Amino acid sequence: MIGTGILKGMAVTARNFVGSYFDKERLITIQYPEERNPLPENYRNFPFLIYDGDDPHAGLRCVACKICEKECPPQCIYIVKSDDKKPDYMGKPQFYPKVFDIDISVCMSCQICVEVCPFEAIKMDKEFELSKRERFDALLSRKEELSKSNDYYHKIHPLEAAAVDKNLADAAAVAEAKKKAAAEAAAKAAAAKAAATKPPPVGDAASVPGKPTPSSQQ
């Protein structure tokens, strides 16, 4: 009969409407913004910059290599590299972005900047309440606003952040092992060179020119 489908659909709607007063499972709406549904692990919005430790300047992982700026399809990243180097949170000197802006009115949340970054320095945020009254300058996210801690990254993407931390720790261990092996090889080479150029010990008759040895006196 024509219209049966509509009646069935209306019956489901009515059942859920009435049922939602008695069964919380049927209530699919929430009182936003007081209540919020948790976002899934892989939800993404706009990028942010990660820093390690407590200091956003010292701990910023970004070295201003500009790869993300070049690869961003709509060209909404703007970076100015520093002239000097600053110690990172481990004390190692590195360049840093003097300016790092992202125009969020242009960003299309494609995540390409994240994929091309060799330093795990830029990741996707879950922050979506970014509406502003002004259209232009206010939609330019600056370095200070973009910088967020690794702890924040763990909070919003726990699985991904744990995997990134493990990769970084593995890479650091490999680099440390290479450094140690190179230092050992250099020490061995220096010892071998020193042994080859060492003068003979004083009093060694066999090696003093002109001094007769017991065998030569017979």
Q: Convert residues 19-58 into a mask of x (bound to ligand SF4 by CB under 6 A) and - (unbound).
A: ----------------------------x-----------
Indicate left, alpha or beta for 109 from its phi (over 0: left) and psi (-120 to 50: alpha): left
Minimum gap (Å) between residue 125 Cβ and ligand SF4: 10
In this chain, which stretch among 74-82, 144-152, 156-164, 184-192 interacts with ligand SF4, using CB under 6 A?
A: 74-82
Nearer to ligand SF4, 35 or 137 (CB): 137
> Judged by CB under 6 A, which of 42, 111, 207, 213 binds ligand SF4?
111
Strand order in the sheet with 147-149: 122-124, 47-51, 147-149
Does residue 212 have a cis bond before it (omega within 30 degrees)? Answer: no
146 lies in the binding site for ligand SF4 (CB under 6 A): no
112 lies in the binding site for ligand SF4 (CB under 6 A): yes
> Judged by CB under 6 A, which of 48, 51, 52, 62 binds ligand SF4?
62
Minimum gap (Å) between residue 84 Cβ and ligand SF4: 17
Residue found by looking up tokens 């309440």 in the block: 129
Structure tokens at 7: 């009646």
Question: What is the size of the binding site for ligand SF4 (CB under 6 A)?
Answer: 27
Nearer to ligand SF4, 122 or 156 (CB): 122
C-alpha gyration radius of the chain:
33
Q: What share of the chain is helix, strand, coil (3-state, %, to 5)?
A: 40, 15, 45
Nearer to ligand SF4, 20 or 160 (CB): 160
192, containing H or E segment: helix 158-196
Buried-state track 44-56, b at ≥16 Cβ within 10 A, e below 16: bbbbbbbbbeeeb
> Judged by CB under 6 A, which of 13, 42, 109, 213 binds ligand SF4?
109
65 lies in the binding site for ligand SF4 (CB under 6 A): yes
